[in-house]
Structure 1
Amino acid sequence: MTATPLIDPFQRTIDYLRVSVTDRCDFRCVYCMSENMTFLPKKELLTLEELDRMCSTFVGLGVKKLRITGGEPLVRRDIMTFFQRMSRHLDSGALRELTLTTNGSQLEKYADDLYAAGVRRINVSLDTLDDQKFADITRWGRLPQVMRGIDAAQKAGLRIKINAVALKGFNEDELFTMVDWCAERDMDLTFIEVMPMGDIGNENRLGQYWALSDLRDSLRERFTLTDLAERTGGPARYVRLEETGQKLGFITPLTHNFCESCNRVRLTCTGELYMCLGQEDMADLRKPLRDYPEDDRALENAIRAAIALKPKGHDFDYSRQKLDGQMPRHMSHTGG
């Protein structure tokens, strides 16, 4: 297999692949899914063996970081066999990091297995520490189950970063509570601006939008913020809270376009490769994967052709008080 790296038209090296292994989830978060989702038929999903072959091909083309997402990745049947298979790329040194983003609901069950497969850091999506608000925003979720999962993950040795979507009128009043809680547990924390993705019925994205520039202003009332040059292969910009030494991240697709350093692409559970979260351009990789089961050359060529079409950036925009750049697909479809 050729070792020529994946370079997009803007001379960015693509070495980070996010892979959705399922569109299903045991929660129904209001900014991610409609309450009554229609999920994909099983035959359309890549099998675990196909996911292995697909991801291994990307690793062979220079991908160094693999993040497993969903839906909720840990609800997919036998998903641990996939993590165990991917660990061979960590052992060989071809893959630098294997990680996942999870809602935490299954961590109590799988934390030790994840660590054994070579996972060392995970992101847990958690927007509130209030039981009732958590039930409201996830529709189906139970906060104590997630908290037990976080306990199990830390006990297993996993480093946790909490991802909190900033929602006006929902968790504004928990800003300092979340910061303090993460500091007490030695967990990193990243705030994310709500993105205009998916037809979610009555949910008002414009009304939910809480600019992280405003959130930072609130933090400055209590803390001294120092900007950090650190990058972790994702879109977050980081600050240090001098009073606690804590690191906070901000993902701001709307108030700050982070595309100039984008090094990632997203693979759906059906084998569609999205070169940008905020664009509809995609490439069907399932066809070459299935049409040539014994030969990866067609798949490699399809991947390279897709990377050659990667756009310069997205065009999310709330500034004109309408959802310009809104994507009709649900966030769960591409795994965030």
Structure 2
Amino acid sequence: MTAVPVALRRRAEIVAADAASGPLVDTHGRVHRDLRVSLTDRCSLRCTYCMPEQGNEWLARTSILTLDEIEEIARVAAAAGVRTFRLTGGEPLLRRDIVDVVARLAAIEGPAGPVEIAMTTNGIRLPEVLDDLVAAGLSRLNISIDTIRRQRFADLTRRDRLPEVLEGIAAAAASPLRPLKLNAVAMRGVNDDELVDLVQFAVDSGAQMRFIEQMPLDAGHTWDRAQMVTREEILAALSERWRLTPVPGRGGAPAEKWLLDDTAHEVGVIASVTAPFCGDCDRLRLTADGQIRNCLFSMAEYDLIPVLRAGASVVSDGAPIDRAGAIDAVLRASVRGKLPGHAINDPAFLQPQRGMNAIGG
């Protein structure tokens, strides 16, 4: 059997007594119940704020986690109290085994019962796979759409595929998946004149629109704070059309929500830059190549590959360490290393080397 690297062995020894014995609580008291699982770093679009059109350095296919490996990690995470698994990318629907991924994860039960499976997608393949995804156990769906103007969409994504995205949204609207959420990154001079139109489109589709402040997560590191449309600007624009009433009880959710007039329709804003919600963050992230990240902006990653590909069990000083215990050890090490916040507004802030497509949303 293969020996475990020293750093991993030490992490396993530190938490061996606590493995699978309690929730994932960091040193700031935050309980982690959400794992974002990136299935691939590849995407069918090339959004300007996410990745270059050409010259992308893709993860080697041999480094991408297999379905068995994803399920193994998910079962350990669920045993430690993770209740929601959100499948992301890149574009998760590019995984040929996406229906099997959903089915295998949806069958997992944790201490609180069955887990919930959510997905964030650009919607392009939804019409052909949505029925199978629902049957497999998909619970919730977020679809990214930054504009409903075809030429603008083509310019922004470098692909003329808006009709396919709209077909995907229509398929989702006709499905039983609720709440259906549409995500848009608000950008100055790009789509900031379309905020009201996007909300109305979401309302007409039976969906909730959520605007996201643009974050420094592009692969080209070209983020410019001046191009970001702030939370206050978004709310001011929407207030010209609707009366906004705050929805209480946000908890650990990333989006603040408001009711539109006296209806049940809602709009959300994820203000990671101007109104960080780090104090209530309950999320971890698993990259497509097996790294655990405790924050979108973390400079550290915790490698699960030595455990996953070391054989039936791993060995420390001649004694076997249970694989589940070793995975649990890595999860807990990541949680313990989580900082109080992402420090975007600190002058010393450094953007992560990975772009959003490689981290997972």
User: How high is the TM-score relative to the length of structure 1?
Assistant: 0.93
Q: Within the alignment, does 1:105 sit opposite 2:133 as a pair?
A: no
Distance 1:259 1:282 in 2: 18
Q: SS of 1:116's equivalent?
A: helix
1:174 to partner: Cα distance: 0.9
Q: SS of 2:233's equivalent?
A: helix
Question: 2:51 is matched by which residue type in structure 1?
Answer: M
Question: 1:19 is matched by which residue type in structure 2?
Answer: V
Who is 1:5 aligned against? 23
Contact 1:20 1:335 in 2 (8 A): yes
Who is 2:336 aligned against? 308
Task: Output aligned runs, 1:129-208, within 5 Å.
Answer: 129-159=148-178, 160-200=180-220, 203=222, 205-208=224-227
1:61 to partner: Cα distance: 1.2
**Matching residue within 138, 162, 168 for 1:119:** 138
Contact 1:69 1:102 in 2 (8 A): yes
Contact 1:12 1:261 in 2 (8 A): yes
Distance 2:172 2:109 in 1: 20
Gaps of 5+ in 1: none
Distance 2:109 2:45 in 1: 31
Who is 1:31 aligned against? 49
Task: Output aligned runs, 1:250-329, within 5 Å.
Answer: 250-294=269-313, 295-317=323-345, 324-329=349-354
Distance 2:359 2:113 in 1: 25
1:262 to partner: Cα distance: 0.4
Task: Output aligned runs, 1:12-23, within 5 Å.
Answer: 12-23=30-41
1:198 to partner: Cα distance: 3.1
Gaps of 5+ in 2: 1-18, 314-322
Who is 2:4 aligned against? none
Contact 1:239 1:247 in 2 (8 A): yes
Q: SS of 2:326's equivalent?
A: helix
Distance 1:119 1:91 in 2: 17
> Once the two structures are superposed, what CA deviation does each residue of 1:175-225 show, in whole Å capped at 9, x if it has no partner?
111111111221011100000123427x55334211121111122222211
Report the identity percentage.
Answer: 38
Contact 1:17 1:264 in 2 (8 A): yes
**Matching residue within 41, 48, 72 for 2:91:** 72
Distance 1:129 1:78 in 2: 30
Q: Cα RMSD over matched residues?
A: 2.0
Distance 1:179 1:103 in 2: 17
Distance 2:344 2:110 in 1: 39
Distance 2:324 2:111 in 1: 20
Distance 1:81 1:92 in 2: 23
Larger radius of gyration: 2
Residue 170 to residue 198, structure 1, CA distance change in 2 (3 Å): closer
Q: Which runs of 4 or more aligned residues in structure 1 lie more than 4 Å from their structure 2 counterparts after TM superposition?
A: 90-93
Residue 232 to residue 150, structure 1, CA distance change in 2 (3 Å): farther
Who is 1:42 aligned against? 61
Contact 2:292 2:303 in 1 (8 A): yes
Contact 1:30 1:200 in 2 (8 A): no
1:91 to partner: Cα distance: 10
1:226 to partner: Cα distance: 1.2
1:240 to partner: Cα distance: 1.1
Contact 1:288 1:302 in 2 (8 A): no
1:53 to partner: Cα distance: 0.8
Who is 1:331 aligned against? 356
Question: 1:47 is matched by which residue type in structure 2?
Answer: T
Distance 1:222 1:48 in 2: 46
1:243 to partner: Cα distance: 4.6
Distance 1:25 1:77 in 2: 13
Residue 82 to residue 266, structure 1, CA distance change in 2 (3 Å): same
Contact 1:317 1:325 in 2 (8 A): no
Residue 196 to residue 284, structure 1, CA distance change in 2 (3 Å): same
User: How high is the TM-score relative to the length of structure 2?
Assistant: 0.87
- Between 156-165 and 123-132, report the one with greater CA deviation: 156-165
